Amino acid sequence: PLNLLGNSGLFKFPTMASYRKSLAKNGHAVNLVYLIGHSSLRIKVMNDVTREANSEEIRLMHNLLTQALNEGASGFSTGLFYPPNKAASEEEVVGVASAMKNHGGIYTTHMRDEGDDVIKSIDESLSTAKKAGVPLLISHHKCTGRQNWGRTRETLQLLEEHRPSLPLNFDIYPYTAGSTILQEDQVSEETRILVTWSKAHPERMGQELGDIAREWEVSCKEAARRLKPAGAIYFQMHEEDVQRLLKSDIAIIGSDGIPEDEHPHPRLWGTFPRIIGHYARELGLLTMSEAINKMTGLPAKVFGLGKRGRIAPGHFADLVIFDPKTIIDKADYDNPKVPSEGINAVWVNGKEALNSGSIGVSNAGRLLQSDFS
């Protein structure tokens, strides 16, 4: 299991409306835009999620997504790399996603493969979005595995070819390592892997899988099996690919952070200051305005959020006050829970939520809904 939010008992809501009611009652610190997960829909209507959905199950998921969109959701997300989505056919995903065609909404996807079959996976994502008639956002685009380093040239060319016929973007985080659950089929002897948590051996948190395997005198795959359920950071990407993707004008920034990891990926704490401080100021890969737009105005446009993402008369005052000369990430793989430097204050909907590290108004956030009209 991938524990994204903590105690599951706190996050069980039968409908989007019931969740929205809970948010309104309890308040929240930041603005929220919600997507309906494919996993949630499959688990709701299928007794066996290890197979493709049949036509009746697709119809039920389609209707549930329609209901959620009417109740405030902004789109539909899939994680086709993971169970219980892995068995889903493209026909199934299209059948569900088409609920957004007339209603409005965005299709976001963690593709089936980001390694050897990355082109095939992009083709599927493009095909799904076109058949469903919806905008596409590819999640945390990357090319994993040494044998695939440099293939971002191919992926960017493919995406550029389809831009005239489909609203499409991808998001990216500024690191050469990703983080997810620890899986034997993702383990190789040559890949550096850092264990972020382990239910079976919690004392191994923060240790290298290779070191654990050597201590136990077993293969890395066997060590992974013994540690499960567990999470891991995989060092699988190349810096040149990261920079090439960051420069694309269809790239937006996302942390992909997992808050409940005991030893999380530093992206959870450092993504956005790292873009400004390292890639814009230190490397000059992006101008300051380009970097900020990829985190504000462009994402607001991608998600159809009116009067957001820009400083302009009549727009909502969602502001981060920072020093462009000093802002920088401080979190790293050894010490991932370290606040960044150079951020002075944060305003949410015109209310000061953070000032010099002290919490201000803690419930200024709003639930936002996409509007692509």
Residues 227 and 126 reside in one and the same domain = no
Residue 225 lies in a domain: yes
Buried b (16+ CB within 10 A) or exposed e, 240-264: ebbebbbebebbbbbbbbbeebebb
Note the pLDDT of residue 258: 84
**Sheet strand arrangement including 251-253:** 35-37, 75-79, 106-110, 136-138, 168-172, 251-253
Closest CA to 356 of 322, 325, 329: 322
CA-derived radius of gyration, the chain: 21
Provide the whole-model pTM: 0.95
Considering the domain architecture, whether residues 185 and 172 belong to the same structural domain is answered as no
Q: Which residues of the chain are under the pLDDT cut of 70?
A: 1-5
For residues 205 and 172, state if they share a domain.
no
132 and 182 inside one domain = no
243 plus 182 within the same structural domain: no
Same domain flag for 321 and 225: no
Residue 373 lies in a domain: no
* Pair (12, 47) in one structural domain: yes
In a domain, 1, yes or no: no
Cβ neighbors of 134 (< 8 A, separation 6 or more) are 75, 76, 97, 98, 100, 101, 105, 106, 107
pLDDT tens-digit map of 222-241: 999 999 999 999 999 999 99
Q: What is the pLDDT of residue 366?
A: 97
Contact 145, 227 (CB under 8 A): no
Tell me if 3 is assigned to some domain.
Answer: no
**Do residues 70 and 203 both lie within one domain?**
no
Domain that holds residue 153: 8-176+236-368
| Percent share of the chain, pLDDT over 90 | 92
Q: What is the DSSP string of 169-226?
A: EEEE-S-SEEEEE--GGG--TTSEEEEEEESS-GGGTT-BHHHHHHHHTS-HHHHHHH
CATH code of the domain in which 294 resides: 3.20.20.140
Q: From CA 76, how far away is CA 362, in angstroms rounded?
A: 28
Domain assignment present for residue 202? The answer is yes
Are residue 127 and residue 228 in the same domain, yes or no?
A: no
Dist CA 242 CA 228 (whole Å): 29
pLDDT score at 189 = 86
Residue 196 belongs to domain with CATH number: 3.30.1490.130
